[in-house]
């Protein structure tokens, strides 16, 4: 197998190598698009399965809306169309004829969904209305990178309508918390959560909340967003309801989503020199069994013992790699690149000793385990340990790479050095945020509390309004 680039020296190439060698995806024959290969798509399917339950626990129901959005509908919310129309793919011909109205390929579905909500919502009894959609999305990105930024991607988008601003605030916050829980519990990815600054909010939103993870190269990665959309879309699409007093009101909307970018997040947060490291919750294969034999005479006996063991581990996702044409070393390498949490090795000596060798992918720790103890229960415990181990490592990394500074010098020494998150005072102006971004490539990821009295913006020197979380970002 070809080598993977050094993660420390060339993180971007390491990232591409892992995707290729773990067989997650490849470039497609369409610019900026990828083919999700089976192993990569399985990660998305597993995320969907878990997240879909969490979404339904929020009281949302799944539905499906059209891929195409007519220009007239797209254009009704001015801020939104200004933000999204320039990055849309546009259908101008259908059935061999030029269309009388252009169709935008959805870059997100607020417009078409809220146009529909106008037909569904009449009374306060129809609220809250909570809808979720799993769908493909197209945004005409110029610089693309597999999973992290692609022309087409897969996502879920929740869309809700509420009677009051408070209820919409609560929903936006609940969705954010749901994502943070999912990131931590399912992906073993620690995240910081909070509000985006005004200039980074979703086009047409009142405000945007975000979960931010930290890649091992010190860059931030936005993992999910949740928006309180206010009443702008209600206004634009004529969504109205009669409140309990019989008065006509405009509902408050929220929308929230995560995408296949989470696969990229998983790679950059957990991956190591040997490739992917998958949390057991999401691993398509949780345990791989590799039979070890040198002579053909040993082969059948070892394989039989491996098959028997695999059969007893059924509730776990176990894979016996019995390919005769591959050496154990090749297999070790392949399953390490693919991030399988546990490896079991079994050879003639192990048969005699009635044991197996068990190797953890997160730490590389190796131990001998009596065969009698090699039960689903025991291995579930080890898988839990891997899950917690990955989270603990990522959490320690995030903590080590989160700093608080007061001067631009300290700021640049971190941002230009190891990277990571930096809390710094900000005067609340777009100009200062842009100045920092131009000088350092770091942007504001989240807003923190109000700034302490006397603290000053790093570039303008003006009194700070906020503590803001800065980082270079994907």
- Binding residues (CB under 8 A) for its own copies: these are 26, 28-30, 33-38, 41-42, 44-45, 61-70, 73, 86-96, 103, 105, 112, 115-116, 119, 125, 131, 135-136, 138, 140, 142, 151-152, 154, 325
- Name the minimum Å distance from CB 370 to its own copies: 34
DSSP reduced 3-state for 50? helix
Identity of the residue, 320 or 398, whose beta carbon is nearer to its own copies in the bound complex: 320
- Name the minimum Å distance from CB 110 to its own copies: 13
Identity of the residue, 64 or 365, whose beta carbon is nearer to its own copies in the bound complex: 64
Please report where in the chains the tokens 């634009």 appear, as a residue: 236
Question: Sign of torsion, CA 47 48 53 56?
Answer: positive
DSSP annotation of 373 reads: G
Identity of the residue, 242 or 465, whose beta carbon is nearer to its own copies in the bound complex: 242
- Name the minimum Å distance from CB 331 to its own copies: 16
- Name the minimum Å distance from CB 244 to its own copies: 13
- Name the minimum Å distance from CB 177 to its own copies: 23
Identity of the residue, 92 or 377, whose beta carbon is nearer to its own copies in the bound complex: 92
Identity of the residue, 153 or 470, whose beta carbon is nearer to its own copies in the bound complex: 153
- Name the minimum Å distance from CB 115 to its own copies: 5
Report d(CA 430, CA 197) in Å as an integer. Answer: 9
Contacts of 27 (CB under 8 A, 6+ apart): 33, 34, 35, 146
Q: What kind and span of H or E run contains 436?
A: helix 430-440
- Name the minimum Å distance from CB 155 to its own copies: 12
Chain centre to alpha carbon of residue 134: 15
Identity of the residue, 24 or 394, whose beta carbon is nearer to its own copies in the bound complex: 24
Contact 415, 433 (CB under 8 A): no
Identity of the residue, 9 or 93, whose beta carbon is nearer to its own copies in the bound complex: 93
Count other Cβ atoms within 10 Å, centred on residue 245. Answer: 7
Contact 227, 254 (CB under 8 A): yes
245 φ/ψ angles, rounded to the nearest 5 degrees: -90, 5
Contacts of 282 (CB under 8 A, 6+ apart): 43, 46, 47, 50, 186, 187, 266
Structure tokens at 184: 């931590």
């Amino acid at each position: 197998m070809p080598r993977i680039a050094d993660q420390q020296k060339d993180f971007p190439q390491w990232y591409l190598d892992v995707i290729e060698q773990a067989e997650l995806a490849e470039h497609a024959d369409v610019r900026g698009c990828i083919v999700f290969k089976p192993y990569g798509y399985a990660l998305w399917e597993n995320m969907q399965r878990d997240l879909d339950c969490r979404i339904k626990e929020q009281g949302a129901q799944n539905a499906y809306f059209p891929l195409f959005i007519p220009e007239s509908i797209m254009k009704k919310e001015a801020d939104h169309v200004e933000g999204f129309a320039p990055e849309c793919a546009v259908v101008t011909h259908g059935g061999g004829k030029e269309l009388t109205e252009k169709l935008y390929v959805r870059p997100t579905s607020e417009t078409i969904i809220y146009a529909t909500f106008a037909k569904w919502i009449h009374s306060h009894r129809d609220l809250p209305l909570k809808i979720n959609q799993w769908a493909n999305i197209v945004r005409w990105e110029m610089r693309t990178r597999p999973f992290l930024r692609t022309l087409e991607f897969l996502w879920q988008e929740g869309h809700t309508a509420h009677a009051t601003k408070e209820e919409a605030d609560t929903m936006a916050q609940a969705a954010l918390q749901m994502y943070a829980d999912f990131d931590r519990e399912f992906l073993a990815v620690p995240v910081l959560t909070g509000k985006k600054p005004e200039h980074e909010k979703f086009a047409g939103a009142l405000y945007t909340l975000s979960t931010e993870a930290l890649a091992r190269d010190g860059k931030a990665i936005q993992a999910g967003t949740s928006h309180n959309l206010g009443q702008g879309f209600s206004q634009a699409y004529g969504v109205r309801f009669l409140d309990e007093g019989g008065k006509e009101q405009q509902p408050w909307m929220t929308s929230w989503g995560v995408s296949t970018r989470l696969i990229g997040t998983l790679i950059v947060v957990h991956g190591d020199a040997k490739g992917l490291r998958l949390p057991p919750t999401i691993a398509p294969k949780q345990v791989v069994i590799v039979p070890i034999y040198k002579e053909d005479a040993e082969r059948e006996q070892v394989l039989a013992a491996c098959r028997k063991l695999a059969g007893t581990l059924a509730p776990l996702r176990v894979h016996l790699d019995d390919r005769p044409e591959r050496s154990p070393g090749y297999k070790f390498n392949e399953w390490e690149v693919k991030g399988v949490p546990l490896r079991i090795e079994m050879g003639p000596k192990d048969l005699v000793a009635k044991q197996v060798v068990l190797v953890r992918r997160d730490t590389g720790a190796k131990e001998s385990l009596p065969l009698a103890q090699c039960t689903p229960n025991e291995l579930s415990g080890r898988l839990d340990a891997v899950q917690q181990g990955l989270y603990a490592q990522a959490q320690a990394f995030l903590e080590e790479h989160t700093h608080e500074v007061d001067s631009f010098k300290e700021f640049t020494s971190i941002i230009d050095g190891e990277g990571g998150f930096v809390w710094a005072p900000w005067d609340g102006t777009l100009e200062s945020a842009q100045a920092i971004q131009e000088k350092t490539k770091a942007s504001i990821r989240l807003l923190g509390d109000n700034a302490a009295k006397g603290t000053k913006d790093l570039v303008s020197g003006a009194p700070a309004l906020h503590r803001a979380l800065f980082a270079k970002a994907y």
